[in-house]
Structure 1
Amino acid sequence: MAVFRNNLLGAIRGRVGNMVSYVVLGKNVVRMIGQNNKPPTEKQLANRQAMKVICEVLSMAKPFTRIGFDAEAKLRSLYPQNVGISVNKPAALKGVYPQIEVDYPKLKLSMGSVPGLMGLTVVAEDDGLCITWTPVLDWQYMHDRIMVVVYFPELAAEKHEKSCIELSGARRSEGIERIPLSSALLSQRMEVFVAMRAACGADVSDSQYAGRLN
């Protein structure tokens, strides 16, 4: 793949022979296309499965990661989803092909300089989840709001139904957030992540793994 910089002709789009040109984030990109009739190697198959696994788990949290990786994406001239893949593919997978899976405690869904939460706990109640942390009354951070992802990896449903997402929850000073869930969802396996979102500006904290339930 090639990237044109300072192209006097302006952006070039379209296909010529086995080359196709398009614009990504303001950059003119050219890549080769064509067929490869060779059977994939085991290394290639492992890479494909790793990519599939990471893309699937990130897709369930897309509204969260769109905010969580936005600042880093702008620094790298990438889309937030691309940042999520580049960060998690090398670090948040375990197992070997064909049994590659997500290592949830290592999964990152946001990156930023906002402080995380201390004393983080999550428990299931009759009507949902109760997330608690040590309240902070420092004026600089007390109005930050919690973001939450509850992921149901074993739920047999469409992707958009496999997660419950809160993007503007309780303030840091409150020390508690409740996520309503149906009794059917409460019986499912859950992987829970949180991050803090600055009250002013677009900065966030690194995501924190709150734990697995069921």
Structure 2
Amino acid sequence: MARLKNGILGPLIGKIANLVGYVRLGQPVIRMEARKRKKKRVRSDAQKAVNLRFKIVKSFIAVISGFINVGYKLDVAGTTKIPENNAVSYHINEAVTGTYPDLVLDYSKVLISRGKLSGPLNPTVELEGDVLKFKWDVDPKSDWKRKRDQVMLLAYKTATHESDYIVSGARRFEGEDELRVQIARHKNRKDDFLETYMAFISDDRQSISNSVYVGRVAV
């Protein structure tokens, strides 16, 4: 509580909000109350690890967001979530390996699409020039509807953190497709790789398969 000594025109003695009034050396003084400094919180390694996992995954998902929007669309159907939510959650829990601070994304555990459709059989990939040539086995027992599923292909560039992909490629019965990639080759760069993935999506876009890690391709 503040007091006004000697009436309304007198000096302010006491505190009003963050103002403090007092008499110093016979002179009335008003100053702002000093703010208490908050103690800097010391974060544990476990907390730092959570943040680093999130950062690693978010930077990866941002590069392939167009693919993720298709690959996880059915996974979030009927919910209030967006595809990125489920993709980030999965990869934070399943695809980041190591011990803080040496955490890395395990590309073999990356899942860029999720669903119950049957996936590729024995997929392979090889690089010829700037073209990735994907192949897979065609199951002769699958019905015609399944044979018309379309392949989805993605290549992630570890050196430049870029990607190339298609979400509506060749039909399953064709057994092969190509993905052209833009590659800036650099001599003596050890991390120049393409991490490659494949999945299938149904003709009516109502079913999708889990993606399959096809492998690492040296540039």
Same fold (TM over 0.5): yes
Counterpart-to-counterpart distance in 2, 1:36 and 1:55: 30
TM-score between the two structures when normalised by the length of structure 1? 0.75
Q: Percent identity?
A: 26
Counterpart-to-counterpart distance in 1, 2:76 and 2:209: 15
Counterpart-to-counterpart distance in 2, 1:115 and 1:60: 26
1:140 aligns with 2:149: no
TM-score between the two structures when normalised by the length of structure 2? 0.74
Could you say which residue in structure 2 is the equivalent of 1:165? Answer: 165
1:99 to 93, 96, 102: 102
Change in CA separation of 1:207 and 1:183 when aligned onto 2, cut-off 3 Å: closer
CA shift for structure 1 position 73 = 1.2
CA shift for structure 1 position 101 = 0.6
Could you say which residue in structure 2 is the equivalent of 1:50? Answer: 53
1:83 aligns with 2:83: no
Counterpart-to-counterpart distance in 2, 1:120 and 1:93: 24
Could you say which residue in structure 1 is the equivalent of 2:177? Answer: 177
Runs (5+) with no aligned partner, structure 1: 1-34
Could you say which residue in structure 1 is the equivalent of 2:132? Answer: 129
Length, aligned pairs only: 175
1:190 to 189, 194, 211: 194
1:150 aligns with 2:155: yes
CA shift for structure 1 position 39 = 2.7
1:205 to 206, 209, 215: 209
2:68 to 65, 68, 73: 65
Q: Tell me, yes or no, if the aligned pair for 2:148 and 2:202 is still in contact at 8 Å.
A: yes
Counterpart-to-counterpart distance in 1, 2:185 and 2:148: 30
Q: Name the structure with the higher strand share.
A: 2
Counterpart-to-counterpart distance in 1, 2:100 and 2:72: 28
Runs (5+) with no aligned partner, structure 2: 1-37
CA shift for structure 1 position 184 = 3.0
CA shift for structure 1 position 75 = 4.0
Whichever of the two has the greater Rg, that structure is 2
CA shift for structure 1 position 74 = 2.2
Change in CA separation of 1:193 and 1:44 when aligned onto 2, cut-off 3 Å: same
